[in-house]
Amino acid sequence: MADTGIHTMMHDGVCIITLMRADKRNALTQPMYAALTDAVTAAGEDPAVSVIRLRGDGADFTAGNDLNDLQVLAQAGEAVETQPVFRFLHAVVDCPRPLVAEVRGNAVGLGTTLLLHCEAVIAATDATFAMPFVQLGLVPEFGSTLLLPELVGPQRAARLLILGERFDAREGERLGLVSQVCEPPALEAVAGAWCRRIATAPAGAVAATRSLLRGPQWRARLHEAVDREAAVFAEQLNSVEHRQAVAAFFGAEGDG
């Protein structure tokens, strides 16, 4: 599936999904979200899969949504809630398999909010995280307005979401978002070890424990949060302040 910007492979019960757009810092487009949805859904339905490992090709995990792609979506006038990105969000919420993220470099926007859905996040010391939705005239997504306050508390969550503050892997570990921090050369091996530990654990007990942790009531709350955020995100995507923020972003990029 490399032509979609996504590559998937199986290895010893681990479904490895790699974002393959390194030249754009693995920024995500709607075709990539469609491919991710298919990959996550297929892995969740495959009894041979014990764990899903998420990673990015090259120097970054993902820079989040491709802003040019978002502009095309806004100009098309289609309901954002029906687009591949939001189908992907719901697919992750419903996925029955544990998720392990292998993070290096930039993890921006959805690159950070996705991690709130993972059972383990392994981050290199060069990883940096940020959720600059407000700075782009948008609002947080992926149920982060529900999950982040539960993880770090409401005041800290407000600071991270409203101010879009960037933080490093050690701070992510302190916040409870990151499970383990390692040096960049060791990242692949450490993430692989985590996946093997999960894949070799009793499969029925793993599935039952994950279901208890993320049961129907929890998923219902999360689906509701995703939909609520999506509705406001769609409004903001067509707002003047979002257009101004994007113009300023691309202007600053040109100046740099």
* Average model confidence (pLDDT) across the chain: 93
Q: What is the CATH number of the domain that holds 149?
A: 3.90.226.10
pLDDT at 80 over 70: no
Which pLDDT does position 1 carry in this prediction?
40
Number of domains in the chain: 1
The pair of structure tokens assigned to 203 is 């499969």
- pLDDT reported for residue 182: 98
pLDDT over threshold 90, residue 70: no
* Residue 136 CA neighbour count, 13 Å, CB half: 25
pLDDT, one tens digit per residue, over 101-125 is 999 999 999 999 999 999 999 999 9
68 inside domain: yes
Band of residue 254 on the pLDDT scale cut at 50, 70, 90? low
Is residue 83 in a domain?
Answer: yes
At residue 251, the pLDDT reads 76
Taken in order 45, 199, 222, 55, is the CA torsion positive or negative? negative
* Domain annotation covers residue 148: yes
Least confident of 51-60, 221-230, 232-241: 232-241
| Domain of 124, in residue numbers | 2-186
77 part of a folded domain: yes
In a domain, 71, yes or no: yes
For residue 134, being part of any structural domain is answered with: yes
How many other β-carbons are positioned within 10 Å of the β-carbon of residue 191?
A: 28
* pLDDT digit string, tens, across residues 137-181: 999 999 999 999 999 999 999 999 999 999 999 999 999 999 999
3-state SS track over the chain:
CHHHCEEEEEECCEEEEEECCHHHCCCECHHHHHHHHHHHHHHHHCCCCCEEEEEECCCCCECCECHHHHHHHHHHCCCHHHCHHHHHHHHHHHCCCCEEEEECCEEECHHHHHHHHCCEEEEECCCEEECCCHHHCCCCCCCHHHHHHHHHCHHHHHHHHHCCCCEEHHHHHHHCCCCEEECHHHHHHHHHHHHHHHHCCCHHHHHHHHHHHCCHHHHHHHHHHHHHHHHHHHHHHCCHHHHHHHHHHHHHHHHC
Percent of the chain with pLDDT over 90: 84
Instruction: Place 4 in a pLDDT band, splitting at 50, 70 and 90.
Output: confident
> How would you classify residue 128: left for phi > 0, otherwise alpha for psi between -120 and 50, otherwise beta?
beta
Least confident of 67-81, 99-113, 152-166, 231-245: 67-81
249 versus 211: the higher-pLDDT residue is 211
Q: Assess whether pLDDT exceeds 60 at residue 2.
A: no
Question: Considering the domain boundaries, does residue 229 fall inside one?
Answer: no
The answer to the question of residue 110 being in a domain is yes
